[in-house]
Structure 1
């Protein structure tokens, strides 16, 4: 076999489009890992700057737009890196023409992207299934404010005159939802503030003036606690 015939055999052997699954899996794994990191970073920063109101009244259209743009950007970056790794990590056999190598790079990158998307979708489905639990509605249901504003709620309803058989769990939950609006754009509304004063006066036996003073103090403390929690979330995200 002469050199010219040998080169022809090598070219014929290496010009077909075929997949090497090791680079594909490596690229998909890198894309998924980078996507998780970027989404976790964006979610932590978003939670740190978004409104803590339990309703949509303080929803920011600008923040929603920026979140959508960030999701598109992170997808381009993560899947681009994964596709690059999948394409460049393949093993080139023989004297392969450059146009064939480029075609294989694109094929490996596309397959790694598809595998990463399927893996991400499966992970999201598992998380959604585990989170989909029946919710039992009752008057003593907890609120999202309870872990964050537990001390403030304790101060709000502190009294030595509570009857032993009275459960104020629902009142605490309702007050917690009101206090979460303290850091919103409009703050606690006058209607919610007046209602909270009446509720505290009825639950603790305080005079109206003392209940009003306590409510105003707790609203200020809640605003400070939420601001500190936001700063901690942003610092944690950057860390």
Structure 2
């Protein structure tokens, strides 16, 4: 009898530990949707960790830090809601011990978090590809320097005497590639520096001395812009990684809380539940 009972318990426990995909999908979709809403709201009020606009270079460090903190906060909220749904909607099968149920709830929340991250990454990739395709088709000679150093390239080739029907797209792309090397350890080589001065003088009609002063000024501005862009990229990468890690923890904890609410049990003290008072034995 005891052996049959133990076998039944094992079967029930195995049934209770099965991963149920309906709660996982529900929690993941809720987390991805809420994350998109919160990120859109943050962008609407000016909270962004990076931007392609040249005016972003003048943004203060406090704004970058606040934007990173908001990214982490929205991850805690969105993944917490998704994990709670995944834990609350799970159906426990069989007579499973409480600690096993709690771990299973946390597993559902963590799986919902992973699926939401994949969905969000896929949406971002599709949006990025759709936004980059028209630029590549319209500007075949454009380089990575064009969105970053567009203001510097405009100032480099600015000339009121140049005819309007002359296309300098290739010259801009070539100058952009040269300016990108200004932030390296060796900087712009002497050959590239002289070549860029000749190109600017030929395209704008400036004397060689004026063209050299303009090139030197633009190189200094480009070096500063690249350094600030790198700093923003570091803040973005760190904030995104911290947000994802905090989101995983929030999804696990919220799923465990959702499972306790589902079973009618009280939350432990580390989840914010009321402390249990010991009943004196008479």
What range is the shorter-chain TM-score in?
0.5 to 0.7
2 CA distance for matches of 1:104 and 1:236?
33
Unaligned 5+ residue runs, structure 2? 1-8, 39-48, 53-78, 241-282
DSSP-derived class of the 2:193 partner: helix
Change (3 A) 1:110 1:201: closer
Alignment of 1:73-112 (within 5 A): 89=88, 90=90, 96-98=96-98, 101=101, 104-105=104-105, 108=108, 112=112
For these two proteins, the number of residue pairs brought into alignment is 191
The answer for the alignment partner of 1:24 in structure 2 is: 24
Alignment of 1:1-239 (within 5 A): 15=13, 16-17=15-16, 23-25=23-25, 27-29=27-29, 89=88, 90=90, 96-98=96-98, 101=101, 104-105=104-105, 108=108, 112=112, 115-116=115-116, 119=119, 123=123, 126-127=126-127, 130=130, 133=133, 135-136=136-137, 141-231=141-231
Cα RMSD between the aligned structures?
A: 5.1
Deviations, residues 42-79 of structure 1 (Å, cap 9, x unaligned): xx68x9xxxxxxxxxxxxxxxxxxxxxxxxxxxxxxxx
Shift of 1:149: 2.7
Change (3 A) 1:165 1:85: closer
Change (3 A) 1:96 1:123: same
Shift of 1:204: 2.1
Change (3 A) 1:212 1:24: same
Deviations, residues 140-183 of structure 1 (Å, cap 9, x unaligned): x3343334333322322233432343222221222122212222
Contact 2:26 2:82 in 1 (8 A): no
2 CA distance for matches of 1:132 and 1:222?
23
Unaligned 5+ residue runs, structure 1? 1-10, 38-43, 48-79
2 CA distance for matches of 1:124 and 1:148?
20
Contact 1:82 1:109 in 2 (8 A): no
Query: Which stretch of the first structure deviates more once superposed, 216-225 or 118-127?
Result: 118-127
DSSP-derived class of the 2:213 partner: helix
Change (3 A) 1:85 1:223: same
Larger RCO of the pair (alpha carbons < 8 Å, separation 6+): 2
